[in-house]
């Protein structure tokens, strides 16, 4: 187990500086243009692919960093450049992680390379889970997958929403209900290969922020995929569903309450460990955006003069900057702690993953708003980047679990209550 440290080693510093250079030299100069265009920045993704940033190998190296700091460090630097473009670069990772977590070795080797393509022909992938009536409430999911045994095919019908890269992806990973009676335990994930009939892009959302990242509905109308596209395979799914049915029966009449409680707690802890481990990465994205806005505001306050002196000499401005920096550093520490705990298998006894995501997300919203205020009228214009950063920051308190959901998770964990 790696010791928790707040110091990056030489290798990590080298990677950080490399990412920062790419963010400063490639992402930032393109940020305003692609925000205005509200289109996927394919040229920037291609540049990231050419130097190895847009690749599974790069993210795998950071993920398996024994200190746990590889991923949050990478996310902070890329999102310091621009949130919309950075999300277009890392968004494919959501689908790739879905395959890595649930797929067989053959599925991993077959589909993940097709998600990224190569530097000459970059591709993207989409992870499709949320639905119009099932966001945080995953048990309300309606997209159905029915097995056609005669043809060894799965038939998928439904509508997904808020899908990053939805409709433009080369490969879609779709979560669907295979046994409605089991609620969220009756879900499975499927690969939808390129060009599969019946999959279409629905509404493309015109968003308040992160506008360089493509977000759309995905319509699945009688989509047929081979049995081999069920992540993990049919045998593994059947075994998992059988266990879930047995647990459901065990929770019925005649089972002692204490035994039911222990089983519920075991299932809850397993699910919590999965969700909690992914949340610090989103927190790191928020830290990157907050830091970017703070640095713009600090530079502006040092150089902008009013009444014959820099505005940072005014206590009202200086105190805001002090609070901004303090909150950013506190958010980063929460993110790093949770990331270290996750990679080292430490239990999240106080929902530390949700804590990091909650605090960092709220910090990004507050800090970017303060940056706009410090720049005054200039901050409200698109001539300065804090206006865009402020718009981008709103997403962190919404996606990957709203701030309200994070507070619910934290509160229920502290109270020893099940997470529903």
Task: For 189-209, write each residue's pLDDT tens digit.
Answer: 999 999 999 999 999 999 999
**Interacting residues of 229 by C-beta distance below 8 A, sequence separation 6+:** 154, 190, 191, 192, 193
Report how far residue 392's alpha carbon sits from residue 56's, in angstroms, rounded to the nearest whole number.
Answer: 25
How many structural domains are present in the chain?
A: 3
Same domain, 268 and 213: no
Domain that holds residue 285: 262-415
Secondary structure (3-state) at 195: coil
Same domain, 104 and 132: no
- According to the model, what pLDDT value does residue 258 have? 40
Listing DSSP states for 361-401 in one string gives HHHHHHHHHHHHHHHTTGGGSTTSTHHHHHHHHGGGGTTTS
Task: For 254-313, write each residue's pLDDT tens digit.
Answer: 444 444 444 444 334 333 444 566 789 999 999 999 999 999 999 999 999 899 999 999
Secondary structure (3-state) at 241: helix
Distance of CA 100 to the CA centre of its chain: 15
Task: Report pTM.
Answer: 0.90
Same domain, 30 and 108: yes
Active-site annotation holder among 131, 352, 387, 400: 400
> Catalytic annotation on 76?
no
Phi, psi at 351, each rounded to 5°: 55, 50
SS3 percent helix, strand, coil of the chain, rounded to 5, is 60, 15, 25
Task: For 306-344, write each residue's pLDDT tens digit.
Answer: 999 999 999 999 999 999 999 999 999 999 999 999 988
Using the 3D structure, point to which of 80, 101, 122 is the last residue of a domain: 122
CATH code for position 389: 1.20.140.10
Q: Is residue 240 part of a domain?
A: no
Q: Is residue 248 part of a domain?
A: no
């Amino acid at each position: 187990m790696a010791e928790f440290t707040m110091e990056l080693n030489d290798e990590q510093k080298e990677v950080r500086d490399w990412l920062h250079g790419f963010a400063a030299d490639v992402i930032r100069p393109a940020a305003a243009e692609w925000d205005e265009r509200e289109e996927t920045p394919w040229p920037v993704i291609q540049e990231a692919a050419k130097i190895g940033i847009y690749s599974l190998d790069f993210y795998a190296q950071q993920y398996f960093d024994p200190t746990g700091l590889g991923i949050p460090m990478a996310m902070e630097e890329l999102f310091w450049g621009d949130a919309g473009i950075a999300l277009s670069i890392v968004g494919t990772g959501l689908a790739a992680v879905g395959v890595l977590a649930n797929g067989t070795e053959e599925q991993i080797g077959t589909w993940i390379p097709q998600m990224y393509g190569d530097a000459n022909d970059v591709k993207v992938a989409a992870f499709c889970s949320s639905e119009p009536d099932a966001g945080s409430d995953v048990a309300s999911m309606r997209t159905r997958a029915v097995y056609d045994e005669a043809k060894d095919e799965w038939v998928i019908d439904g509508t997904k929403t808020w899908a990053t890269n939805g409709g433009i992806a080369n490969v879609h990973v779709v979560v669907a209900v295979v046994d409605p009676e089991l609620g969220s335990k009756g879900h499975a994930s499927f690969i939808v290969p390129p060009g599969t009939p019946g999959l279409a892009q629905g509404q493309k959302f015109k968003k308040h922020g992160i506008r360089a990242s493509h977000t759309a509905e995905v319509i699945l109308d009688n989509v047929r995929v081979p049995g081999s596209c069920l992540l993990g395979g049919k045998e593994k799914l059947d075994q998992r569903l059988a266990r879930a049915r047995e647990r459901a029966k065990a929770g019925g009449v005649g089972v002692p309450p204490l035994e039911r409680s222990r089983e519920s707690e075991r299932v809850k802890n397993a699910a919590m460990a999965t969700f909690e481990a992914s949340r610090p990465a989103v927190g790191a994205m928020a830290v990157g955006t907050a830091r970017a806005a703070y640095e713009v505001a600090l530079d502006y306050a040092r150089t902008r003069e009013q009444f014959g002196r820099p505005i940072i000499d005014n206590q009202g401005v200086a105190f805001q900057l002090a609070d901004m920096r303090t909150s950013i550093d506190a958010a980063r520490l929460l993110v790093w702690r949770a990331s270290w705990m996750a990679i080292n298998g430490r239990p999240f006894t106080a929902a530390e993953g949700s804590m990091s995501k909650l605090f960092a997300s709220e910090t990004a919203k507050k800090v970017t708003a303060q940056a706009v205020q410090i720049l005054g009228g200039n901050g409200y214009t698109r001539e300065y980047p804090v206006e865009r950063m402020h718009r981008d920051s709103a997403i962190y308190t919404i996606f990957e679990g709203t701030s309200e959901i994070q507070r619910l998770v934290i509160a229920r964990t502290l109270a020893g209550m099940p997470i529903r």
